[in-house]
Amino acid sequence: MLDILYQDDALIAVNKPAGLAVHRSKMVGNAEEFLIDLLRDQIGGTVQLAHRLDRATSGVLLIARSSEMSAALGEQFMGRHVCKKYLAVVRGWPDPVQGLIDYALPGSRETGPRREARTHYQRLATIEVPIELGRYPQQRYALVQAEPESGRFRQIRKHLAHIHHPVIGDCQHGRGDHNRLYKQHFGCHRMLLHAWQLRFAHPVSGKPMSIEAPLDNAYESLLARFGWRVPEEMESR
Dihedral angle sign, alpha carbons of residues 87, 93, 96, 101: negative
Alpha-carbon Rg of the chain, whole angstroms?
18
For helices 176-186 and 217-226, give the axis angle rounded to 10 degrees.
90
Report whether 20 contacts 32 (CB < 8 A): no
* Residue type at 199 in one-letter notation: R
The yes-or-no answer on residue 177 being catalytic is no
Catalytic residue among 3, 41, 54, 95: 54
Report whether 40 contacts 154 (CB < 8 A): no
For the annotated catalytic residues, the residue numbers are 54
